[in-house]
Amino acid sequence: MIAGLVAIFVAIFLSLTAIGVFTNEARGVSKSLTVIEAFSAAPQEMQRQFEPSFQDRVMGPLVDRALGIGKKLTPSDHNDRIRQKLEIAGNPPGWTVDRVTSLKFIGFVAMLVLSLIISLLFGFGLGLMLVFCIGFAVIGYMGPNMYLYQKGYDRTNAMQRAIPDAIDLLTISVESGLGFDAALSQVARNTDGPLAQEFARVLQEMQIGMGRGAALRALGERTNVEEIKGFVSSMVQADALGIPIAQVLRVQSREIRTKRRQRAEEKAQKVAVKILVPLIFCILPCLFIAVLGPAGISMVEAFSGRVG
């Protein structure tokens, strides 16, 4: 009798458990189906927000993994040098120290694999394959550095061309009665290019509490233009010693325009030397062919006729 009662209770318990499990499973399946139907019926814009992009799924983990390996293979002062190159290049959007380190390692591996595949396809010898693979791997490793160097070079040239006119406008603004900060704001607002961006950054740094001298020194450290470095040094000294800003700006404007004229004269003097290479290897051979070609053909025909 006791065994029968226990069996009845066990049967009831198992029945309730089974019903509960199946009910929960059915509810879970129904909830999943409901979520899938709601997601498929959602607008395309909302679906794109929930779907991870290729960059998040593949490129992000790849860059993070390459960053960890790249940090182990780079020297300790690598970050400082890359940061300085980024400042000179104007901090291109999306380019950070970590991303440059990752791209250098990824470029090294990608170019090494690509050069190895090309060498095997064309059947290069061992020596030529080694040189080819090493050369391509070095190019892949130095690719981000070359990109930053080119960006910095173009930006430096643009700032070097714009500094005389900017200093003239700054001088006129100060002599007309504006303060240095207001005159700098006028230059940043009324001009375009990287120099105007740097002046705007100087103003922003002063607005957040940095001193004028410190903001100007930071401007000198972010560029390789000698005229800007000289301008920053003069402004810092004038601010420290109490020298009239208008007088210093007038002298700086005259010196910068003199340097620009000297630089133009220097480039003009180099033209005669630079033109020798295309003249010797491109123009003179064509000239010799055009002048001596008919005579050479006549001589060949004449000698061939005698031999016959």
Per-residue confidence (pLDDT) for residue 66, from 0 to 100 = 58
- Which of the residue ranges 196-210, 267-281, 292-306 would you say has the lowest mean pLDDT? 292-306
Average pLDDT rounded to a whole number, residues 256-279 = 87
Per-residue confidence (pLDDT) for residue 44, from 0 to 100 = 56
Average pLDDT rounded to a whole number, residues 54-62 = 55
Residue with the bigger pLDDT between 23 and 213: it is: 213
Per-residue confidence (pLDDT) for residue 60, from 0 to 100 = 57
Per-residue confidence (pLDDT) for residue 283, from 0 to 100 = 86
Per-residue confidence (pLDDT) for residue 252, from 0 to 100 = 87
In the chain, where are the structural domains located?
Answer: 13-50, 54-155, 156-270
Per-residue confidence (pLDDT) for residue 21, from 0 to 100 = 42
pLDDT of residue 208 exceeding 50: yes
pLDDT of residue 135 exceeding 50: yes
For the beta carbon of residue 227, count every other beta carbon within 10 angstroms: 20
pLDDT of residue 63 exceeding 80: no
pLDDT of residue 109 exceeding 80: yes
pTM here is 0.66
- The CA distance from 205 to 199, in Å, is 10
Per-residue confidence (pLDDT) for residue 24, from 0 to 100 = 45
Question: What confidence tens digit (pLDDT) does each residue in 15-48 have?
Answer: 545 544 444 444 544 555 555 555 555 555 554 5
284, 285, 291, 297 alpha-carbon torsion, rounded to 10°: 170
- Which of the residue ranges 55-64, 104-113, 123-132 would you say has the lowest mean pLDDT? 55-64
Average pLDDT rounded to a whole number, residues 76-104 = 82
- The CA distance from 198 to 223, in Å, is 9
Closest CA to 193 of 225, 223, 163, 158: 158
pLDDT of residue 69 exceeding 50: yes
> In percent, how much of the chain has pLDDT > 70?
74
- The CA distance from 166 to 173, in Å, is 11
- The CA distance from 207 to 188, in Å, is 15
Per-residue confidence (pLDDT) for residue 128, from 0 to 100 = 85
Provide the H-helix boundaries in 126-241.
126-175, 180-190, 194-207, 212-221, 226-241
- Which of the residue ranges 51-60, 89-98, 111-120 would you say has the lowest mean pLDDT? 51-60
Contact 119, 132 (CB under 8 A): yes
> In percent, how much of the chain has pLDDT > 90?
3
The whole-chain average pLDDT of the chain stands at 78
Per-residue confidence (pLDDT) for residue 6, from 0 to 100 = 53
Question: What confidence tens digit (pLDDT) does each residue in 139-154 have?
Answer: 988 888 899 999 999 9
